[in-house]
A and B are shown apart, each in its own frame.
Chain A
Amino acid sequence: MINSWKVARWEIKRNLKNKSFLISLIVTPLIFLLFITIPVLLSGIDNAESEPVKLYVKDEIGIWNEQIAAQLGDSDTWEIVLQPENEQAVMEELEENENVFYIVLTEQDVLEQGRMIVYTNEKSDEKLVQPLQFLEQPLQMKRLMDRGFSQAESEQILRGIKLDIVSVGKEGEASEEDTLPLRRIIPAAFAGLILFSVIITGTMIFQSASQEKKDKVAEMILSSVTPSQLMDGKIIGYFILGLIQVAVWISIALPVIQWRLNFNLITYLLVPETLLLLLFAIAGYFMFAALFVGLGATIEDISTSGNFQGIVFMLPWIPFILFGPVVHNPEGIVAQVASYVPITSPAIMIFRMAIMEEWPWVDIVISIVLLLLSIWLFMKLAGKIFKTGILMYGKNATPMEIWKWLRH
């Protein structure tokens, strides 16, 4: 065990001193944050540079100054000319210039026909006057009050009718409902992030084993440690690297998330559910790690064409294909089968636990038992493959050869 720790420590140290690992460690969350913040910043720049929209308003019903002007706000966005004297000149300006609009509010149109005419030319961007949608409310009020309703009655009518579904259940549940999805989703997202990170470092085990073959270091190391100590050391080392990776990502992203979302993430994470979700993430890692370390030892050069080992890199991403059907029916046959198959179960179970209000406890127990059994089996098989594979120089192992090592 001491030797396994030494190997683990070495793998961690070696990668933490490796420039490309360090760069990706820091750059990954930064890219993620850039993707979130850049569009917001860019749209800000765009707005700042745009010219104000020119609005001519002919108000015959006397509503603009009373109720609308105050709500329009920002004078940088709008340049308003109320009651233009020369309608002909306005029309000419409309024909020639972009982003000039002429709003006509007449008794005939607004109060009787229920419409508001906005003149513009073809080149103008119609989206610019979309914020004026809010005019509907005061104009409707005006129509109702003109027909003799009081202000209170008008407001009541305009509030409309809302569909409100109330489920009958135990008392006290209604107040928790608002926060419940977040209480499920945040721990699950955290577990998902850990699974994602350790699987990425897990694929590095494959490269590490394969590189040791290629660099021909394996034989010298194996004169000091046993193959199983070397294999265990790699699995532990890259697990810790994966956790370090998550820690760095979170410490970079957390302040930004707190600032943007304005709620305390940590309180959502410190719940017992997190532990169960983490169990799936960690179990997922050990299963894939066994696969990667075993098959990594069978291959000397991943870039050679025609090797089947490359396929294992795709296995961890299979659950993505299944997310659609699982969202559609989290208790359906696809979701259940994917929860039992060890390759897909960690990601699918975490996903199901995030979206389901009632956790499928039977599936959870079966899934964990199957996952633990498969880890035990995969580790055993990986050990057999690793022992022989790591010392085979000069060529990649064929499936037949691997089969033979397994039977030995």
Chain B
Amino acid sequence: MEKVLSVEGIGKKFRDVQAIRDIHFDVHAGEIMAILGPNGAGKSTTIRNIMGIIIPDEGTIRFHRSKDGSIPRDKIGYLPEERGLYKNVPIMDIILYFADLKNYPREKAKKRALMYLEKFDLAGKENKPIEQLSKGMAQKVQFIASIVHEPELLVLDEPFSGLDPVSQELFQEEIKKLADQGTAILLSSHQMNLVEALCDRLFMIYRGQKVIYDTIDEVKAKYANFKCTLKGHNDAEKLGKLPGVKQVEVQNDRTILYLDEGIQPATWLKSLPEDLDIKEMSMDRISLHEIFVRIATGRWEVDNLD
């Protein structure tokens, strides 16, 4: 896939605090790339450096489609973490203003804006000012304003925060659709489940440094061991002594067995004793969410991960 953006070794210091250090990653056309990390990890600082809102102390940011390598402002869509729009201006005026700033034709912008307003359940509200809408609706308008000009690169900083599940799904669908149409998408989030479901690759950042940078599948294969969830009456101590079981967690009549690294599920299943009480059984990998929590709470050493 064609590279649209390359971040090469950027670092930024605020006073004495090194906010980010030696950050490297690429974003390709048609893919959704996630920057993951707990609050304060450096996600927004990285994004603001890319957007030229702050200038990195070191490293380079390359926009491959820009002739002189500088930021192609009218080809980028940006939804900042700090949300807000002009409060007392009609929605349509705001969307058209942002499209105008991106040199996008007015009539085309109007058509697209109406289409998206309808899609996001805001049809007929184009002449209402933001102050008359709910917070979630305002967020939808801001999202529309950031994609109305058909950007080649879309940068979304925490796009799902503050949204209800239905709106989250709507946003997810739309982001996927944009990627399918060839837009390179970079999004930051701390909601692992959403990233897991949506993104192709991820860059996990912790305390301003890279922790993981890979495709979602690779990450799961590499870091997420299997776990087996059993429903039935069994002795937890006995289960703990089974081969390949690292840890046992009991939740009511449900028992979760965390397995060792490198365990082959089929082989391991064969090794189970016949007298095991199994009413239900499922086998899956540890979720990204669990990996994330473990990293964020310091239960995994950052240096051991790479």
Contacts and interface: CB of A to CB of B under 8 A. Distances in A.
Given A6-B100, A223-B73, A391-B53, A217 B86 contact: yes
A391 to B, nearest CB: 6
Interface residues of B, number: 27
A215 interface: yes
Given A3-B101, A10-B97, A224-B98, A219 B80 contact: yes
A316 B34 CA distance: 51
A321 interface: no
Contact of B101 (A14, A221, A391): A221
Interface residues of A, number: 21
B288 interface: no
B82 interface: yes
Interface in A205-254: 214-217, 219-225
Given A14-B86, A215-B87, A220 B100 contact: no
Contacts of A217: 84-86
Contacts of B84: 214-217, 220
A73 B110 CA distance: 73
A18 interface: yes
Contacts of B73: 223-225
A393 interface: yes
Interface in B148-165: none
Contacts of B189: none
Most buried by A among B84, B102, B142, B146: B84
Given A14-B86, A393-B82, A220 B146 contact: yes
A14 B89 contact: yes
B66 to A, nearest CB: 15
Given A215-B87, A391-B53, A225 B101 contact: yes
Interface string A1-18: 001001100100110011
A10 B90 CA distance: 13
Nearest to B73: A224
Interface in B55-111: 73-74, 76, 78-80, 82-89, 93, 97-98, 100-102
The 9 closest A-B pairs by CB, nearest first: A216-B84, A223-B78, A224-B101, A219-B80, A215-B84, A216-B82, A217-B84, A10-B97, A223-B51
10 contacts: A6-B100, A215-B84, A215-B85, A219-B53, A221-B101, A223-B73, A224-B98, A225-B73, A391-B53, A393-B82
